[in-house]
């Protein structure tokens, strides 16, 4: 196996992003961080690197273990990365599911600025 791989390619290979283009765009947009610093798509990753990125309402943290030769199936992902995301982050998802969809206004048309701020506070 390779000793390093481009960041966008690795993110795509281990199924963190659906396409390599989405992975590259997330890196370019500053959404993916490597050891706390913004990660560029062409950056070569090494085993042991810690990557964090925003996934829905949680911040997911993973550790690079190895480099797959190509995109792998979901069952094989555990061989190439370790999930270091704290349980509190996953709890956010279950909390939001329990609350149900947010209802901010009752048939008044578009949400007001105040309603949008409330929505942003929840998300």
The CATH number that applies at residue 78 is 3.10.290.10
Asked if residue 111 and residue 78 are part of one domain, the reply reads no
Mean pLDDT of 105-109: 65
CA distance 26 to 39: 9
Confidence label for 107 from pLDDT (cuts 50, 70 and 90)? low
Q: Which residues are bridge partners to 54 per DSSP?
A: 59
| pLDDT value at residue 98 | 79
The closest of 70, 53, 56, 57 to 14, measured between CA atoms, is 70
* Segment 21-64, tens digit of pLDDT: 999 999 999 999 998 899 999 999 999 999 999 888 889 999 99
Asked if residue 46 and residue 90 are part of one domain, the reply reads no
Asked if residue 101 and residue 46 are part of one domain, the reply reads no
| pLDDT value at residue 99 | 74
What is the domain range of residue 57?
1-85
Mean pLDDT of 86-110: 78
Asked if residue 98 and residue 75 are part of one domain, the reply reads no
Say how many domains are in the chain: 2
Asked if residue 90 and residue 74 are part of one domain, the reply reads no
Asked if residue 102 and residue 45 are part of one domain, the reply reads no
């Amino acid at each position: 196996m390779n000793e390093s791989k481009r960041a966008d390619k690795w993110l795509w290979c281990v199924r963190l992003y659906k396409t390599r283009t989405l992975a590259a765009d997330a890196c370019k947009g500053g959404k993916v961080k490597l050891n706390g610093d913004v990660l560029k798509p062409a950056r070569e990753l090494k085993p042991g690197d810690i990557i964090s990125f925003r996934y829905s309402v949680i911040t997911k943290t993973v550790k690079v273990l190895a480099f797959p030769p190509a995109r792998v199936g979901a069952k094989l992902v555990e061989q190439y990365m370790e999930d270091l995301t704290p349980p509190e982050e996953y709890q956010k998802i279950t909390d939001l599911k329990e609350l149900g969809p947010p209802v901010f206004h009752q048939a008044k048309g578009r949400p007001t600025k105040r309603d949008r701020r409330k929505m942003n506070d929840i998300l």
